[in-house]
Amino acid sequence: MNQPSGKRFDVCVSGSGAVAMSLALSLSAEGFEVAWARAEAFTAPNSTDVRTYALNARAIALLTRLKIWPALQSHAAPVFDMQIRGDAGGALHFSAWQQRVTELAWIVDAGALERLLSDALRFAPRVDVVAPLQGGQAPANAALLAICEGKFSDTRQSLGVAFERQPYGHWGVAARLQASRPHQGVARQWFRSPDVMALLPFNQPDPHASYGLVWSVPQERAQVLAGLPAADFELALREAIEASEPGALEHLGELRLTSPVASWPLALAQASRWSGPGWVLVGDAAHQVHPLAGQGLNLGLADVDTLVNVLSESRRLEPWRHAGDERVLQRYVRRREWPTRTMANLTDGMLHLFADSRGPLKDLRNAGMSLVERLGPLKHWLVGRALDA
């Protein structure tokens, strides 16, 4: 792919992550001419990313349509059960069987996802790689600029769009683990002020007994954890699990670190505007949520799905409108803003509820958790939101 001169495009996709690549592929599959402005330093995507992503049914359906899923499935494991524990006896249990779905989510390898998307783009028709945008300037030869540059997008900033970021003061520590007992497709999560920890069943290196770890802790503790030798990290992990749920280690067995430990700063953020004449924000460039519900990328892929539907619908029904027509883009914004805010508020609310370790609140939140467990319809609604972000 080279940079053609004078060619006109329907959409210029700016960004180098999973959202940008999924959008470029989806648009190309729908017959749009795409200019992909990826980062200068873009080579093969980072296969050393230690994160595992929990992807929901809608995200998997999109990746299936993009023909990525069959290859990605060998780097993924299904979640059949999810057990969530509070810090004073509160518990929630979700099962695929109860929800009448085959699985609640898939846990996928973050590096494999990006690598497969970039491989597919090499052969995608109607996608030309162009130089990254200069100083956030929209290219003159594309009707629409789709900004998928992640939370630190400079193009969003140069458009003067505010992105109010509330840092949690917490970092997400991620690593891969191998256990001495099979996980049986059970994801576990513990809320124990100030930590939130999740063990996500994964299939590598051991197909039946590996986990992806996501551990949200205060910044200073994240730095300490990331610098520990493997044996000390494993000890800290064991202690945290035992303190959260005495006896849990009997089910999990020995946990051994199989990757480096990495960490990311966590924040809640939302762009003040998602679209304007000729431009639109997609994925983390528009919103950032806490990873405790594993929804950030799911929201981004749902944005992609919706935007492509809106553009295709408009091209079919109103061929006189171009892709950058603000009226068309507003339809995308209307469909995506509410589900995104709901998810952001839900995860933010949970986090704040569990951030306070005082007695009365502690009892109340654990009682609330157990109440949700007994309220079938509310539980069902919560899973519905998570399956279809």
Ligand X SMILES: Cc1cc2nc3c(=O)[nH]c(=O)nc-3n(C[C@H](O)[C@H](O)[C@H](O)COP(=O)(O)OP(=O)(O)OC[C@H]3O[C@@H](n4cnc5c(N)ncnc54)[C@H](O)[C@@H]3O)c2cc1C
In the numeric block, the tokens 């929630």 are attached to 92
Listed ranges 17-25, 82-90, 318-326, 363-371: which one lies at the site for ligand X (CB under 6 A): 17-25
Q: Binding to ligand X (CB under 6 A): which residues in 212-231?
A: 214
Work out whether 295 is an interface residue with ligand X (CB under 6 A): yes
8 A C-beta contact, residue 297 and residue 55: yes
What would you report as the CA-atom Rg of the chain, rounded to the nearest whole angstrom? Answer: 21
Q: Which of 109, 149, 195, 245 binds ligand X (CB under 6 A)?
A: 149
CA angle 352, 357, 360 (to 5 degrees): 95
Look-up of token digits 């610098």:
227
- Minimum CB separation of residue 318 from ligand X in Å reads 28
Question: Measured from the CB atom, is 2 or 43 closer to ligand X?
Answer: 43
Give the residue ranges of DSSP H helices in 253-375: 296-317, 326-355, 359-374
- Going by the DSSP 8-state scheme, the letter that residue 291 receives in this structure is G
- Out of 26, 83, 270, 298, the only residue in the binding site for ligand X (CB under 6 A) is 298
CB 376, min distance to ligand X, A: 26
Strands 34-37 and 9-14: parallel
Of 50-79, binders to ligand X (CB under 6 A) are: 51, 53-54
Q: Does 195 contact ligand X by CB under 6 A? A: no
- For ligand X, which is the closer residue by CB, 96 or 301? 301
Residue 174 binds to ligand X (criterion: CB under 6 A): yes
- If one asks whether residue 297 binds ligand X (CB under 6 A), the answer comes out as yes
DSSP one-letter code for 31: T
All residues at 6 or more sequence positions from 135 whose CB lies less than 8 Å from its CB, including other chains: 158
Judged by CB under 6 A, the stretch of 48-56, 91-99, 177-185, 267-275 that binds ligand X is 48-56
| Residue 284 touching ligand X (CB under 6 A) | yes
Cβ proximity of 85 and 93 under 8 Å:
no
Q: Among positive and negative, which fits the CA dihedral 20, 26, 29, 34?
A: negative
Which residues contribute to the site for ligand X (CB under 6 A)?
14-20, 37-39, 51, 53-54, 132-133, 148-150, 153-155, 172, 174, 214, 264, 283-284, 291, 294-298, 300
